[in-house]
Structure 1
Amino acid sequence: MPAGVSVTQGGKEYPGKLTPYVLATCIVAAMGGLIFGYDIGISGGVTSMPDFLSKFFPSVYKKEAVDTTVNQYCKFDSVTLTMFTSSLYVAALVASLVASIVTRKLGRKLSMLFGGLLFCVGAIINALAKDIAMLIVGRILLGFGVGFANQSVPLYLSEMAPYKYRGSLNIGFQLSITIGILIANVLNYFFAKIQDWGWRLSLGGAMVPAIIIIVGSLLLPDTPNSMIERGKRDEALIKLKRVRGVDDVEDEFNDLVVASENSKKVQHPWRNLLQRKYRPHLTMAIAIPFFQQLTGINVIMFYAPVLFKTIGFGDNASLMSAVITGVVNALATLVSIYGVDKWGRRFLFLEGGVQMFICQVVVAIFIGVKFGVSGTTENLPQWYAIVVVLFICIYVAAFAWSWGPLGWLVPSEIFPLEIRSAAQSITVAVNMFFTFVIAQIFLAMLCHLKFGLFLFFAFFVVVMSIFVYLFLPETKGVPIEEMSIVWKNHWFWGKYIPDEDLPHAASSLEMGKSKITQVL
């Protein structure tokens, strides 16, 4: 029985090329990922700064700096500290659902603008914070900004990019996230040396990526898909010709119009998501972000300084180790940009899963042997620390070219227009919900599971790899409005897709079948 379906070209090929205009547009739009990445990187860094801890979390500071009898695994276990970190993700969850309406009714770029404005206000409040209440309010506003940006940017990129380059251009969003993480880690390293107010610079620095997305959203054009959806067909045709760099865009334009007409017939996109024919899409909208968070990557990235400090690194060494993982994260994402439209989504998902599993098991063994369950040890030998960091870096690299970018790319490209905005909101909401859950319980899990925490995530990596092998079809090289052919020809999902929902009905189905390669 086939585990998946690889479609080499999809139902039809639209003329067009990658123009400098589209490339520049997608680069600017992808910078929306900077705000999410900067926050992931900055959070763990400031929570390892003594001045920040002593001001806002004195009980944690006492355990970390004064009380040497506390189990090493449990020094940072604090409900208030985890609430500071994870409150953003609850806010992002709520905002992503609201963003669905804004994105559909007013366009993708307006959602990006709202995201940038909200994030900027949150950054200002955090930089000026005098108590924990101000910190939490600032974090909530940051979360609203992240929710709007994460809902709209992947959609914008998938709709603007030519289908042959959709994977590479969409991954620009994940690349921006990794660059944001790296910049935050570098700034944390230097700002930590400034006593009393270095943490304010780290938190206030979030204004810079916010301003970038604000200015970028004002300069960006609307996508042809969004313009058609809002009744601007003549403008959309002109825009599509410019975007594709050719005048022969009738086939693609007509397909976009048909998709828009179908979309208008849908009065309740949220309710329609529950229809049988959308079951494959809804499953992926939930499963992919769920599994993405259970790789454990956000634990590594926004708790990296705390984690390295916990396993025996000093203050500066832990922040520098976080910088190293940030560099690896950014560089490895370039591998995905190169390979996603060359090797396909499934290959990167599966290879990354194997690599992450091996690294998590090795790290668990090394930490377990040295710290046991007591969490106490003599000074950590330098070579031992280097090995731990090395395997964490290999793990980060695997995520960066697989579940990192593909966790955003695949959901954004598989939904039909009539449910696209709502389904993308589901994807972001699920992602934010489980990011919140993992962030909220991580320090407690580290305290109770010790080194077994890495084995916990390794188990889920195995589960998600099996899921991808069996149920995720290959979407490489398939025009976004022709994606139903992929589902129809899948061994499991095909029974859910009615023939009348296929583009051009039977003729397209036959054309699609002629280009299908079964992946065993």
Structure 2
Amino acid sequence: MSGGGSIANDGEAAAAGGGGGRGEVTFTVVMSCLTAGAGGLLLGYDIGVTGGLTQMESFLQAFFPEVLRKMSSAKQDAYCIFDSQVLNAFVSSFYLSTMVASLVAGHLTKTLGRRNSLLIAGVLFFAGTLLNLAAVNISMLIIGRILLGVAVGFSSLAAPVYLAEISPARWRGAFTSSIGLFANFGFLMADMINYRATTMARWGWRLSLGAGIVPALIVIVGAASIPDTPNSLALRGRLDEARDSLRRIRGAGVAAADVDAELKDIVRAAEEDRRYESGALRRLLRREYRPHLVMAVLISVFYEMTGGVVVGIFTPLLFYTVGFTSQKAILGSIITDVVSISSVAVAAVVVDRRGRRTLFMVGGAVLILCQVAMAWIFGAELSTDGGRAMPRGYAVAVVALVCMYAAGLCVSWIPLSSVVTSEIFPLEVRSAALGLGGAISSALTFMQSQSFLEMLCSFKYGAFAYYAGWLVMMTAFVAAFLPETKGVPIESMGAVWAQHWYWKALCQAGTGQAGRWAGMMRWESGFAARVHAVRRWPSNLHHDGHAFVSTLSFDLSVGAEPTINPRSPHPPPDDRLIPLNYYL
């Protein structure tokens, strides 16, 4: 059996917890998903503006004059120009506060609602931007950065959950990956403002920091105008509002009976969620949830160790290190942003057609090639002491490699880390897994942003070889252990784990969602039969009001591969999982 199984489903509608209902894309769905995706603007703008600020003369003159003196020194080691603990603290304080915020954002997102959490994120980002704009010392800068980090901590958790609950299963990958697209628009916006601000002698840095008001207002206005998800409202017991939200999402042409029927399924899911409200972290440690625990930890670790966040923050510094002026370094970063946006757009189109694993593998190969090539160029041309200038041809090659690296990252780990983690976890451990992954991700980002400039000064070109080693490891892990989830309704995700060549052994022992699916698909070696694992979907999900059934069909002979039947010949008797002998 292959590493990544798949499930076919007719109509491809997300059921409870997955949103999407009938799978139709209405105007409200599009606008709501775009607004939630715009939460990525906050992260993208802050990362983009930070990279430009840290080599902007007016900013360094005001707050970090010692770095400016090193930039002017002809004898300075090129690897160590920006090695400053205070500068590192300015950059990393944002990620430390993001980590702390992610520990409480999960609970508040559930109690306050997904939309309200996005609104809070916009307001906090607005406040942090105003404080940075008016800063007269480093303390004000860092307090402002802390507010910005809390804002991103909220938006980074609320936005993927909102998108997963409201987008149709058929297009869930595309809508969820819009977070990465908006993050790259944030990069581009920040770099274009930095490009202009670099030419302003005294107050250019205030323009760069103050322009963060724009993405904050976009999120505030957008969040105030969209409905909260029916799932979130039902979870808080606000059923009338959940019905109104569902009617608005489905459009005026949907019959009231269909809306009520779908709401009933959502309420059932909300009751199931409350059943698992406490003890989720302890539950995640149980044997049958080992696959989910491993993914919660390793996807977060691997995403951070691609080096993507570091390159996103320090791209202008990297280009300055190889010999470009401050303004040309930012221009190179703008070129990288354009490549990134194009790549994320390609990923959004392809992810629900080619699948998650394919993009991970292609992206991984590109990333490994780029990191190895950069290690070779830096080692050959800057050597270990950073004392000689890099020839212009090699400097241009570094820009091209960073662009290739950005393309590989933006078709793989940047969009897919959000897509996969928002869909693979079962209801009973979803909140714990997402919270754990968010905390790990924020902690690693903080550590890297605090230490990368020092690591570059110490490791020299070996820093790129270090990330190349991580990329080899994570690409091999994806190939062997990550199942394919393309087009699978969220509540059926347990079957993906139950048929995976490695994880099925752990799932079979469980009583959770994956364990229930695995129990239906066990067989004795050598016994040949055709078995269907069946779930009946709510009748309102089909346009003519009739139920439809998604099935998995297996030839249970030794060595047989799974085959897919798109529809069962007749519906099961009720909405529960059906025993195997019902179809034998």
2:485 to 461, 475, 479: 475
1:487 to 497, 522, 531: 497
2:334 to 316, 323, 334: 323
Task: Please give the secondary structure, in 2, of the residue aligned with 1:157.
Answer: helix
Q: CA deviation at 1:453?
A: 1.0
- C-alpha distance in structure 2 between counterparts of 1:308 and 1:102, whole Å: 41
Conserved in 2, the CA contact under 8 Å of 1:112 and 1:213?
yes
Partner of 2:267: 257
Taking structure 1 as the reference length, the TM-score comes to: 0.94
Partner of 2:581: none
Partner of 1:111: 117
Conserved in 2, the CA contact under 8 Å of 1:10 and 1:479?
no
Conserved in 2, the CA contact under 8 Å of 1:11 and 1:485?
no
Q: CA deviation at 1:2?
A: 2.9
Taking structure 2 as the reference length, the TM-score comes to: 0.84
Q: Cα 1:455–1:8, aligned 2, differ >3 Å: closer, same or farther?
A: farther
Q: Give unpaired runs (5+ residues) of structure 2.
A: 14-20, 521-532, 536-548, 556-560, 564-584
Q: CA deviation at 1:440?
A: 1.0
Q: CA deviation at 1:41?
A: 0.3
Conserved in 2, the CA contact under 8 Å of 1:10 and 1:483?
no
1:52 to 52, 59, 72: 59
Partner of 1:430: 440
Residue 187 in structure 1 maps to residue 193 in structure 2:
yes
Between Structure 1 and Structure 2, which shows a larger proportion of helix residues? 1
Partner of 2:212: 206
The equivalences for 1:124-135 within 5 A come to 124-135=130-141
- C-alpha distance in structure 2 between counterparts of 1:179 and 1:436, whole Å: 23
Q: CA deviation at 1:441?
A: 1.0
The equivalences for 1:300-315 within 5 A come to 300-315=311-326
RMSD: 2.3
- C-alpha distance in structure 2 between counterparts of 1:448 and 1:518, whole Å: 51
- C-alpha distance in structure 1 between counterparts of 2:334 and 2:362, whole Å: 25
1:229 to 227, 230, 235: 235
Q: CA deviation at 1:461?
A: 0.6
Conserved in 1, the CA contact under 8 Å of 2:119 and 2:220?
yes
Task: Please give the secondary structure, in 2, of the residue aligned with 1:481.
Answer: helix
| Cα distance per residue 1:93-137 (max 9 Å; x no partner) | 111111111111121111111111111111111111111111111
Residue 270 in structure 1 maps to residue 281 in structure 2:
yes
Partner of 1:30: 37
Q: CA deviation at 1:221?
A: 0.6
Partner of 1:68: 74
Q: CA deviation at 1:162?
A: 0.5
- C-alpha distance in structure 2 between counterparts of 1:284 and 1:469, whole Å: 13
Q: CA deviation at 1:195?
A: 0.9
- C-alpha distance in structure 2 between counterparts of 1:98 and 1:256, whole Å: 25
Q: CA deviation at 1:258?
A: 3.3
Task: Please give the secondary structure, in 2, of the residue aligned with 1:508.
Answer: strand
Greater shift after overlay, 157-166 or 427-436? 427-436
Residue 140 in structure 1 maps to residue 146 in structure 2:
yes
Task: Please give the secondary structure, in 1, of the residue aligned with 2:157.
Answer: helix
State the structure with more CA Rg: 2
- C-alpha distance in structure 1 between counterparts of 2:246 and 2:400, whole Å: 46
Q: What is the total number of aligned residue pairs between the two structures?
A: 517
Q: Which has the higher contact order (CA 8 A, sep 6+)?
A: 1
Conserved in 2, the CA contact under 8 Å of 1:280 and 1:493?
yes
Q: Give unpaired runs (5+ residues) of structure 1.
A: none
Q: CA deviation at 1:518?
A: 6.0
Q: CA deviation at 1:515?
A: 8.0
| Cα distance per residue 1:51-105 (max 9 Å; x no partner) | 211221122111112x322211011111111111011111011111111111111
Conserved in 1, the CA contact under 8 Å of 2:12 and 2:170?
no
- C-alpha distance in structure 1 between counterparts of 2:125 and 2:219, whole Å: 10
Conserved in 2, the CA contact under 8 Å of 1:11 and 1:512?
no
- C-alpha distance in structure 1 between counterparts of 2:550 and 2:41, whole Å: 41
Q: CA deviation at 1:278?
A: 2.8
Q: Which amino acid aligns with 1:257?
A: V
Q: Percent identity?
A: 43
Residue 387 in structure 1 maps to residue 397 in structure 2:
yes
Partner of 2:297: 286
1:371 to 356, 372, 382: 382
Q: Cα 1:430–1:252, aligned 2, differ >3 Å: closer, same or farther?
A: farther
Task: Please give the secondary structure, in 2, of the residue aligned with 1:376.
Answer: coil
Residue 165 in structure 1 maps to residue 171 in structure 2:
yes
- C-alpha distance in structure 1 between counterparts of 2:298 and 2:551, whole Å: 26
Residue 508 in structure 1 maps to residue 534 in structure 2:
yes
